[in-house]
Structure 1
Amino acid sequence: MHVIYGGTFDPIHHGHLRLAVELRERLGVSEVALMPCHVPPHRDVPGATSAQRLALLELAIASEPGLTLDDRELGREGASYTAETLTQLRAEIGPDKPLAMVLGTDSFAGFDRWQEWERIPELAHIVVVQRPGPGLAPDGVPAKLLSQRSVERVEALFRAPCGHILQLDPPLLDISATGIRDRILSGHSPRYLLPDPVWREIQRQRLYGA
């Protein structure tokens, strides 16, 4: 199964990396591909450029063979739309190989506002990672989609190329990229919240106000 874990990664930190390792182990796959977006359509412009965020990601996963990098969205002009990315991936891996994308519950709560969101379950499985917050509105489209497509076992994802939704509740490190950026801007050290090579490169390039 091909698994993609997308995000802004602004900057990449140990919370992202620990979740990626948890996903690899719980889903029983050899690799999880981290996919940085170019221009996120549902949040503010990143504090670092696409090239800078990519360089930080490369440093972060250099010693972890189970985590790979897919930078296809960085080569596009304009916003990064998931349906477009999944269409491209599906064409590459063929119609029969299982493909899964990872979302937090906070992102999945607004899933029906995504461009061409109806196409996404026809292209890939969705792995929803539980995150702190109010959860899904019971009468909303995401909750209905979950009730229609939910599976309880990972094995179900391997038996079909797409269409299922699996909920996972892995232990999460309470680290946020926003908190790291704020810490750096205020002159405080973010060490141990993100890999040392990433922090050294942030300092070298004076990113986020370092």
Structure 2
Amino acid sequence: MKLGILGGTFNPVHTAHLRIAEEVRERCGLDRILFVPAATPPHKELAGAIPFADRYAMVAAAIADNPDFVATDLENRRAGKSYSVHTLELLHEEYPQDTFYFIIGMDSYRSLGIWKDFPRLFELANLVVAARPGIPCKDPLALLPVVIRDQFCYHESAHMLRHRSGNIVVFFEETYLDISSTQIRRLVSEGRSIRYLLPTAVEHYIYRHGLYHNDERF
């Protein structure tokens, strides 16, 4: 099975998350997309201190009507920071026969050098890098940390890098939806509508559980 991996704090999950997952699933011919909420994000503070249980429940509600999308609580089942390399290692143990496609944004691709054990990411999974329309990645090899560039070959016609492990890094322009979790949290705290920015089931969950209403840190 070809399995897409989409991680994030999902605080809350919104329509842009779902759309990029759908586009990658279709573009790469994936069988399923696995949503992986972070338990303890290593690179940023979790705004509002929203518990993992709530963020996981919102993801589950958002994808309930799509059999190609699945949520996992894997990162909450282990101690420590939610490092992507550890998550991918555990996924290899849980799904030993599957091929993984790790989905990240161009901003994350540019900062891979600060990720824990980042060279190993390319051994554990193919990477799918989503860029905003109109912002082309002219030289993707040059954006990688210098210490690992010699591990790749660039196929210009396919706009793809191939790692020495055989895994690939593929780039595509997403249908960019200017929606952010920060924006949604701010709107809720201001008593404004969040309708159509996220699935109705997630909107109902937020109001039913009183999330973000007193959130002063967006």
TM-score (norm 2): 0.83
Q: Indicate the RMSD between aligned Cα atoms, in angstroms.
A: 3.0
Measure, in 2, the Cα distance between the counterparts of 1:120 and 1:138. 16
User: Does 2:202 match 1:198?
Assistant: yes
Q: Cα distance, 1:42 vs. partner?
A: 1.0
Q: 2:10 — aligned with what? A: 9
Q: 2:22 — aligned with what? A: 21
Runs of 4+ in 1 over 2 A off after TM superposition: 91-94, 131-157, 160-163
Measure, in 2, the Cα distance between the counterparts of 1:161 and 1:35. 24
Measure, in 1, the Cα distance between the counterparts of 2:25 and 2:150. 22
User: Does 2:63 match 1:61?
Assistant: yes
Q: 2:90 — aligned with what? A: 88
Deviations along 1:1-58, one digit per CA (max 9) or x if unpaired, are 1211111110011111111111111111221111111111111124321000011111
Given that 1:7 and 1:36 are in contact with CA atoms closer than 8 Å, whether structure 2 keeps it comes out as yes
Given that 1:150 and 1:165 are in contact with CA atoms closer than 8 Å, whether structure 2 keeps it comes out as no
Residue 43 of structure 2: SS of its match in structure 1? coil
Give the partner amino acid of 2:190. Answer: S
User: Does 2:116 match 1:115?
Assistant: yes
Counterpart among 119, 141, 144 of residue 141 in structure 1: 144
Q: 1:34 — aligned with what? A: 35
Give the partner amino acid of 1:148. Answer: F
Instruction: Count residues in correspondence.
Output: 207
User: Does 2:191 match 1:187?
Assistant: yes
User: Does 2:205 match 1:208?
Assistant: no
Measure, in 1, the Cα distance between the counterparts of 2:165 and 2:92. 10
TM-score (norm 1): 0.86
Deviations along 1:41-93, one digit per CA (max 9) or x if unpaired, are 11112432100001111110111111111220122222101111111122333
Q: Cα distance, 1:168 vs. partner?
A: 1.3
The share of aligned pairs that are identical, in percent, is: 34
Measure, in 1, the Cα distance between the counterparts of 2:105 and 2:158. 18
Structure with the higher strand share, 1 or 2:
2
Q: 1:50 — aligned with what? A: 52
Counterpart among 171, 177, 182 of residue 175 in structure 2: 171
